[in-house]
Amino acid sequence: MTINTHKGFSSFNRKFILPALRDGIRSVGADIVFLQEVTGVHTRHASRVMGWPIASHYEFLADTIWPQYAYGRNAVYPAGDHGNAILSKYPIERHLNHDVSIAGPERRGLLHCELRVPGYDRHVHVICAHLGLAEVHRRRQLDMLCRIIREDVPADAPVIVAGDFNDWRRRAHRILKDGADLDEVFVCAHGRSARTFPAKFPVLALDRIYVRGVARHGPAPLPKHPWASLSDHAPLAAHVTL
């Protein structure tokens, strides 16, 4: 499952909804959860926002359901930081956050984890992505993603890449297929990527789940409610068989 958490707030930052978001994520029952714009620390909100957790947001979301998690800090500011996180029911044996920021204040990253799945003889490589708003930046970041997969992932290892690609023109599919042999789950099933933004009335297909080297894959349908009120992005989920 992948979702942009919008730092724990609803659209336009009207309401702090992290506890409800946790309930929603738990209801899906995903083995692996890819989070973007998840808060690590925010000292100002911690003192002002009612219900703000003592732990980081990714630890709060993981709680007792996902015993393993990794965090990649992308943006740092005086009050705190936010970035990408991966929650896993399987052991995370290695993780590395790649800074793929290009220029200016926009900070972006690719969080790469190697998972050990019981009964499976190879590591499963999962990458949580959050790419830039400018197309010229996204193109370079997609090239970086392809290079990471070619250089750091064995050719026979399963790969799952998920997150917020901000790719409203849908240019990433061909780049990732040619550069890393990745297939997008919703494109394979329905001929086009799923619309996820804005969550209440999705028009743009910004969020994706790409795979390589798996036996089977397919979209897992999610209801519009309660998700339309839990973030500005709708989540995506998929069934993947090794």
pLDDT tens by residue, 89-110: 999 999 999 999 998 889 999 9
CA angle (101, 194, 206) in 5-degree steps: 20
Residue 53, judged by CB atoms within 10 A of its CB (0-12, 13-18, 19+), counts as: middle
CA angle (147, 136, 164) in 5-degree steps: 70
- Supply the pLDDT for residue 178: 98
- Supply the pLDDT for residue 229: 86
Q: What is the mean pLDDT of residues 28-37?
A: 97
Answer yes or no: is pLDDT of 13 > 80.
no
Q: What is the mean pLDDT of residues 105-119?
A: 95
Q: What is the mean pLDDT of residues 81-94?
A: 98
Q: Where residue 228 falls among pLDDT bands split at 50, 70, 90?
A: confident
CA angle (56, 5, 136) in 5-degree steps: 115
- Supply the pLDDT for residue 226: 86
List the one residue out of 73, 65, 7 whose CA is nearest residue 33: 65
Residues listed for the chain: 242
| Average pLDDT of the chain, as a whole number | 96
Distance of CA 123 to the CA centre of its chain: 19
Structural domains counted in the chain? 1
- Tell me the C-alpha distance between 135 and 191, whole Å: 23
Q: Where residue 25 falls among pLDDT bands split at 50, 70, 90?
A: very high
How many Cβ atoms from other residues are within 10 Å of residue 147's Cβ? 13
Answer yes or no: is pLDDT of 220 > 90.
yes
Where is pLDDT greater, at 231 or 188?
188
Answer yes or no: is pLDDT of 124 > 80.
yes
Answer yes or no: is pLDDT of 55 > 80.
yes
CATH code for the domain in which residue 91 is found: 3.60.10.10
Answer yes or no: is pLDDT of 206 > 90.
yes
Residue 54: CA atoms inside 13 Å, Cβ hemisphere, count? 1
List the one residue out of 119, 134, 139 whose CA is nearest residue 241: 119
List the one residue out of 176, 181, 122, 96 whose CA is nearest residue 144: 176
Contact 109, 82 (CB under 8 A): no
- Tell me the C-alpha distance between 206 and 26, whole Å: 23
- Supply the pLDDT for residue 182: 98
Q: What is the mean pLDDT of residues 154-173?
A: 97
Q: What is the mean pLDDT of residues 210-218?
A: 98
Question: Tokens for 178?
Answer: 């040619």
Kindly give, in sequence order, each residue whose CB lies less than 8 Å from that of residue 19, ignoring residues fewer than 6 positions away.
51
The residue range of the domain holding 65 is 2-241
- Tell me the C-alpha distance between 80 and 39, whole Å: 8
How many Cβ atoms from other residues are within 10 Å of residue 202's Cβ? 17
